[in-house]
Amino acid sequence: MGFPKGFLWGGAVAAHQLEGGWQEGGKGISVADVMTLGGPNKPREITDGVVPGKIYPNHEAIDFYHHYEEDIALLAKMGFKCFRTSIAWTRIFPNGDETEANEAGLKFYDDLFDTLHRYGMEPIVTLSHFEMPYNLVTKYGGWRNRKLVDFFVRFAVTVFKRYKDKVKYWMTFNEINNQRDVNTEFTAFTNSGVLYKDGENRYEVLYQVAHHEFVASALAVIEGHKINPDFMIGNMIAHTTLYPLTPNPKDILAAFDEDNFKNNFCGDVQVRGEYPSFIFRYFKEHNIDTSYITEEDKKIIKEGTVDFYTFSYYMSNCVTVDENAETTAGNMSKGAKNPYLKASDWGWQIDPDGLRYTLNLLHDRYPHTPLMIVENGFGAFDTVEEDGSIHDDYRIDYFKGHIHAMKEAIEDGVPLIGYTTWGPIDLVSAGTGQYAKRYGFIYVDRHDDGTGDFSRSKKDSFYWYKKVCESNGEEI
Ligand code: BG6
């Protein structure tokens, strides 16, 4: 069987992690612009505005704003069929609450999408990827405020209209589910511009935020289809696959519950158009008032279901009731360590088989919805040899395993339509703000100490992924 004809091979990035040019073309300050450099054991600091003397890696990122023609030409050499990026909301509406869009920002993306088409690449665009206008945080309290729904829909409609003939594939909120953990202040801020207040019921805040985002996402889908009925508008879920650590039925139930609330809740709302029954028990147990879910909202959510389901997959984790079990880090959330798996230097467990399992689970859950993997990749320290070469076999091995798993899942009957690796060109890590955590097939000479001239070079994985794209996955 193999990969279907027209399968979308490519790579994915987010505006704030590669563009730089944080004050160019009338761009406003985003939430990413007030987050400092962190490290593996040093959380990024969220500062009160931009504070002189602090290091903000996203301000310059990899300066894609000035290098995009060169970068797209390089990606095209690998045979990319598509390129996923986000539109920085702050380039279009610098403060988020204006009524007039910023023409210079719109023009930048016109040029970007035209360049992609010139090289035969389909743009895949995320509307909100951890980079909302900072003004919406300070003035409105982020997504806890219902006014954000209108601001977001205005932004979505503006870009849908402008790019209706240039962009077909869209997604609304990146990793909408990764803010489910009330103990992680980081994701509440990056995703939704929420800063917790002392003593408030964080669960209530987060679920109200999620509800506003569900309504905004559904309205965007509804409006988008009016503008171009051929649009494919998807959701985006951070899928960390969860296994029970042991056969203890308590672990099995704990994994089942966590999977429902971390992975399935948001997908169910956005694909099936209604809140799943299991979440109401959770609401009750955490004293969450749900009176904000109106009948009108329910209708919107039912009408604005997504056209395809997209997700990120980096790793799996285990779940256990044993409080003394060894833990490991992960993509925005921790889990119990799996004794059968190796992990990256950042503790992310490498599990290609988990991808086949996940694709099958998702297809079983949403049988009529095409699936796309929009992030998968391996963050690692790379070494540049004296002759400039970079031998990243570890990255090639990671991808080989995952692409093989995709092939198996397609054999299983899963309707997978595309695959974009995370960070085909090195960029700023979202979690740590580091350059040192590299994902790319293309190396960027830029370092955490601010040195480097932003020059680009090809790693071994560049030549390997080129074969994959050009052979439609036959040669891995
Ligand atoms: C996903 C995000 O969570 O993981 C990306 O959508 C992010 O923005 C990616 O970069 C990898 O995470 P990190 O922390 O290694 O950059």
What pLDDT sits at residue 39?
86
Give whole-number Cα distances, 118 to 104, 109, 138, in Å: 21, 14, 40
Is 285 designated active site? no
What pLDDT sits at residue 332?
67
How far apart are the CA of 433 and the centre of ligand 1, in A?
10
Ligand 1 pocket residue status of 374, Cβ below 6 Å: no
Placement of tokens 């990319």 in the chain: 80
In 87-183, beta strands by DSSP E: 122-128, 169-173
> Are residues 406 and 419 in contact, defined by beta-carbon separation less than 8 angstroms?
yes
What pLDDT sits at residue 334?
81
What pLDDT sits at residue 329?
82
Report residue 241 as tokens: 């696959």
The Cα–Cα gap between 178 and 119 comes to 34
- pLDDT under 70: residue ranges of the chain: 332
Helix 295-303 vs helix 202-227: crossing angle, to nearest 10? 50
Nearest atom in ligand 1 to 130's CA: 8
What pLDDT sits at residue 305?
98
Count other C-beta atoms under 10 Å from residue 222's C-beta.
Answer: 15
Q: What are phi and psi of 285, to 5 degrees?
A: -65, -20
Ligand 1 pocket residue status of 84, Cβ below 6 Å: no
Nearest atom in ligand 1 to 346's CA: 15
What pLDDT sits at residue 368?
96
Query: DSSP character for 388?
Result: S
Query: DSSP character for 51?
Result: P
In sequence order, what DSSP letters do the residues of 191-221 get, joined into one string?
Answer: HH---PPTT--HHHHHHHHHHHHHHHHHHHH
Query: DSSP character for 438?
Result: B
For ligand 1, atom 7: residue with the closest CA: 430
**Strand pairing report for 371-375 and 416-422:** parallel
Ligand 1 pocket residue status of 96, Cβ below 6 Å: no
Decide: residue 295, CB within 10 A, 0-12 exposed, 13-18 middle, 19+ buried: exposed
Q: What are phi and psi of 215, to 5 degrees?
A: -65, -45
pTM > 0.95: yes or no? yes
In 254-407, beta strands by DSSP E: 308-312, 316-319, 327-328, 335-336, 371-375
With vertex at residue 237, the alpha carbon angle to CA 156 and CA 4, rounded to the nearest 5 degrees, is 95
Mutate to test the pocket of ligand 1, among 312, 398, 425, 435 (most ligand atoms within 8 A of CB): 312
